[in-house]
Structure 1
Amino acid sequence: MFLAALDIALRGASVALLLLLAASLARDFKGVVGGRLAIAFALGSAAHAATCGIGTTVISPTHAPLIALSTGNVVVFWLFTRALFDDAFTLRWWHGLLWAAVAAFSLVNCLWIAPVASPRVSIIAINLLALGFIALAVIQTVRAWTADLVEQRRRLRLFIVSAAALYGGVNAVLQIAVSGSEAAAIANVANSAVLAGIVAAISVAMIHVQAGDLFPTPVTAPPVSVAGASTAPEVAADQRLVDALLRLMAAERIYRRENLTIGTLATRLGVPEYRLRRLINQKLGYRNFNVFLNNHRIEEAKAALADPAQVEVPVITIAMDAGFQSLGPFNRAFKAMTGVTPSEYRRLKAEAA
């Protein structure tokens, strides 16, 4: 009885904190895609906190819709991690379809598959699905984290994704592994305690979030000056570094190099990575290293597409000469920057000539 009461109390605390977090996010970030996904993730997590039960094999029909929302939340989590590390991320129709498919599968599983088939097989299937999306989110984080140039949000984003992924992974493994009423009761309390702790930590971290720390603000702000009172020699040294960086971009076209990272570029310039990251963000106004590279690549591509002497050169050749590895990312980046496709840009320049 004590363990059951403690489990309910911890779950109730998590649900309350998550609902407050969703309300706070709605107040501050509802105008951006990442903010809306964060709200959905918080609400889905509240549904999870209300219904999660380690080792549960009998599911009430009244709980099935909440469990379906909880299961679909792994899709929201994956999309949330994408939006966290890509300011230009947009939701597509198939994202909603994928969420609906996962939630519908969970609902059908709760109401019809689990009662007639093996409940344990059903639990394993659902949680393996959850682990798959958590793995995708972790891979996305590992791939994109180093390109983020805003130091404060890099730390905050890594904490949020790591904590949520760790809890989701442990919960899924426990669901698969734990059997027996005594073990399940203890695992439930431990699981609820960890969830409450993580939710509390994330909520406290979000209290100190400033505009632009987590998501891009709807109104573009000018680049922030370097924190602290910089001396004249420091300012001069920073300017020399910026000049050297821009020379590498303009004269050597280093952005063409395959798999160029900010660490490689910092080594080439002979400075610590954190300093180069800070200067590209605060002196040049970029929030993402890949966007910084792509802007230089697209400027080269624009010049080539507008050149009458290169009118017969295929678009893919121009894209790869500029440093892109395939046509799809080039087309998306080009349209995001110019508002038109590369072919349309070439045609418009030819008509204007």
Structure 2
Amino acid sequence: MLLSTLDIALRGANVALLLVLAASLFRGFGTVLAGRLAAAFALGSAAHAVTASIGAASQVTAAHAPVIALSTGNVVVFWLFTRALFDEGFGLRWWHALIWVAVAAFSFVNCMWLAPASGVRFSIIAINLLVLGFIALAVAQTIASWSSDLVEGRRRVRVFIVSAVALYGGLNAVLQIALSGSSTAEIANIVNSAVLAGVVTAISIAMMRVDGADLFPAVAEIQADTIEAAAGVESSADQKLIDALMRLMGDERIYRHDNVTIGTLATRLGIPEYRLRRLINQRLGYRNFNVFLNEHRIAEAKAALADPSQAEVPVITIAMDAGFQSLGPFNRAFKAITGVTPTEYRRLKASAA
């Protein structure tokens, strides 16, 4: 009885904390995609706090199944949140909603029909393997995108948030698979609720330690006020490094090379990565390294598309010559900067000539 009461109390505290966090995120950052996804993830986590049941051996009721489906679908929101958090050019597509619906629907069908037909343990394994798959995608996104973030404090907090959630979610899924039908389920659920409370509290504290506008930027763009403020404190040594960097970009067109990283440029300039990050962020006003590269790539592509002598050159050739690896990312980056597609841009330049 005592354990049951403690479990209910911890679940109630988690739900309350997550609902407050969701409301705070939506009120403060509801105008940006990463903020909205963070709020949605907090809401889905509240559903998880209600339904999480390690070692469950009984079938799910019809009233419980929709909440479990919402909780399961939340792993898709987590994946999308990590994409928006680390890729400032990321935008939601219609098929993202379809993925969420498919995962939630599978969870609901699993609870209502597959579990009674094939057994609860099989149902638990199927759902949690799906959860582990999306957590792996989120972690892979974090690893791939983390180095491009130029704001040092924000990089650490973002990685902490994703790591904490992924670690908790991964361990929760593994324990649900391993302890299905176990007699230690009641204690495991209490420990799970306590750990969830600790994770949510730690994330909330970590978010308070950085500027919210840095954590959830609306767009990746050059900030004029940042440039002006930095100009007042620039040193001659920094200016020489900036000049050398611009020569690499303008004369050598290093942005054309495959797999250009901030480490590559730092090595060419003979300086530590952290110093180059600070220079590009504080002196040039960029908050994301990929945006810095893409602006140079798009500038070259714009010149090529506007050149009458290259009117017959395919767009994909121009894109790859400028350093893009495929047409999709080029089209998205080009439209984000110019407001039109490469083909439309070429047509507009040709009609104006």
User: Which interval holds the TM-score relative to the shorter structure?
Assistant: over 0.9
Deviations 1:77-115 (A, max 9, x none): 000000001112211111111111111111111122212
Structure 2 residue 148 is matched with structure 1 residue 164: no
Please give the alpha-carbon distance, in whole angstroms, between the structure 2 residues aligned to 1:190 and 1:9: 12
Tell me the equivalent position of 1:238.
238
Higher mean alpha-carbon deviation, 293-302 vs 319-328, is at 319-328
Tell me the equivalent position of 1:121.
122
Given that 1:87 and 1:215 are in contact with CA atoms closer than 8 Å, whether structure 2 keeps it comes out as: no
Deviations 1:52-94 (A, max 9, x none): 0101122232211111100000000000000001112211111
SS for the counterpart of 1:252 is coil
Higher mean alpha-carbon deviation, 40-49 vs 333-342, is at 333-342
**CA drift at 1:224:** 3.0
Please give the alpha-carbon distance, in whole angstroms, between the structure 2 residues aligned to 1:37 and 1:205: 18
Given that 2:121 and 2:180 are in contact with CA atoms closer than 8 Å, whether structure 1 keeps it comes out as: no
Higher mean alpha-carbon deviation, 239-248 vs 177-186, is at 177-186
Tell me the equivalent position of 2:309.
309
TM-score (norm 1): 0.94
Structure 2: which amino acid aligns with 1:41? Answer: F
**CA drift at 1:268:** 0.7
* Unaligned 5+ runs, structure 2: none
Please give the alpha-carbon distance, in whole angstroms, between the structure 2 residues aligned to 1:3 and 1:202: 27
Tell me the equivalent position of 1:342.
342
Higher mean alpha-carbon deviation, 308-317 vs 44-53, is at 308-317
Tell me the equivalent position of 2:300.
300
Identity %: 73
Tell me the equivalent position of 1:146.
147
Deviations 1:289-340 (A, max 9, x none): 1111111011011111111121222222111111111122111111111111
Please give the alpha-carbon distance, in whole angstroms, between the structure 2 residues aligned to 1:65 and 1:180: 22
Change (3 A) 1:145 1:252: same
Please give the alpha-carbon distance, in whole angstroms, between the structure 2 residues aligned to 1:327 and 1:208: 39
How many pairs are equivalent? Answer: 351
**CA drift at 1:226:** 10
Deviations 1:236-278 (A, max 9, x none): 1111111111111111111111001001110110111011111
Structure 2: which amino acid aligns with 1:134? Answer: I
SS for the counterpart of 2:243 is helix
**CA drift at 1:225:** 6.3
Change (3 A) 1:322 1:344: same
**CA drift at 1:208:** 3.5
**CA drift at 1:287:** 1.3
Structure 2: which amino acid aligns with 1:54? Answer: I
**CA drift at 1:139:** 0.4
TM-score (norm 2): 0.94
Please give the alpha-carbon distance, in whole angstroms, between the structure 2 residues aligned to 1:20 and 1:64: 24
Structure 2: which amino acid aligns with 1:107? Answer: F
Structure 2: which amino acid aligns with 1:5? Answer: T
Higher mean alpha-carbon deviation, 190-199 vs 3-12, is at 3-12
Change (3 A) 1:209 1:186: same
Please give the alpha-carbon distance, in whole angstroms, between the structure 1 residues aligned to 2:174 and 2:302: 50
Structure 1: which amino acid aligns with 2:293? Answer: L
Tell me the equivalent position of 2:192.
191
Tell me the equivalent position of 2:263.
263
Structure 2: which amino acid aligns with 1:156? Answer: V
Tell me the equivalent position of 1:47.
47
Structure 2 residue 29 is matched with structure 1 residue 20: no
Tell me the equivalent position of 1:68.
69
**CA drift at 1:3:** 2.6
Please give the alpha-carbon distance, in whole angstroms, between the structure 1 residues aligned to 2:225 and 2:318: 31
Structure 1: which amino acid aligns with 2:186? Answer: A
